[in-house]
């Protein structure tokens, strides 16, 4: 049980980091200056790939990290019979996010030919959440 608790607390911390990163990118997207190493962030943000149906990807990141945070917090409740199912939801969100970030990273390097440091931080962050969620699947909360 201690390993499951530790893994989920780390996921909470990473989800909070992802929320901060996504909030900062959303703030920048709506007209504020972004602090970035190099010039890639502005180029990536101005590309046609920076949103889906006029919804900035940073806003989708806020939604995804909020869902991961909420599901993880809910799964941490003592004697929660849904804990393993909630963790499966976290796994699914993290898997989807990791695949999507891999695609976006490909676009940054191969198509846009610029990369955003903040986007890379989010991509690594969601990949680590995915790894932790995968490890959490092997140890059900009930088993410890």
Q: Is CATH 3.30.70.100 correct for 2-137?
A: no
Are 76 and 122 in contact by the 8 Å Cβ rule? The answer is no
Q: What are the tens digits of pLDDT across the range 56-109?
A: 899 999 999 999 999 999 888 866 778 788 889 999 999 999 999 999 999 999
Strand partners, 55: 52
Secondary structure (DSSP) of 105-119: HHIIIIII----HHH
Q: What are the tens digits of pLDDT across the range 13-49?
A: 999 999 999 998 888 878 766 677 767 888 888 889 9
Which distant-in-sequence residues (6+ apart) come within 8 Å of 68 by Cβ? 11, 15, 18, 90, 93, 94, 129
Whole-model pTM: value is 0.88
What is the pLDDT confidence band of residue 141, given thresholds at 50, 70 and 90?
A: low
The pLDDT of residue 124 is 96
């Amino acid at each position: 049980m201690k390993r499951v608790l530790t893994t989920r607390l780390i996921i909470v911390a990473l989800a909070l980091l992802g929320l901060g990163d996504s909030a900062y990118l959303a703030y920048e997207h709506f007209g504020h200056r972004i602090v970035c190493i190099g010039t890639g962030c502005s180029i990536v943000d101005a590309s046609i790939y920076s949103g889906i149906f006029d919804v900035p990807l940073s806003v989708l990141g806020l939604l995804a990290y909020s869902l991961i945070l909420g599901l993880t917090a809910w799964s941490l409740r003592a004697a929660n019979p849904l804990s393993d199912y909630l963790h499966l939801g976290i796994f699914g969100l993290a898997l989807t996010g990791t695949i999507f970030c891999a695609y976006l990273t490909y676009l940054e390097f191969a198509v846009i030919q610029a990369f955003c440091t903040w986007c890379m931080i989010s991509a690594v962050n969601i990949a680590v959440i995915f790894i932790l969620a995968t490890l959490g699947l092997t140890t059900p909360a009930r088993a410890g």
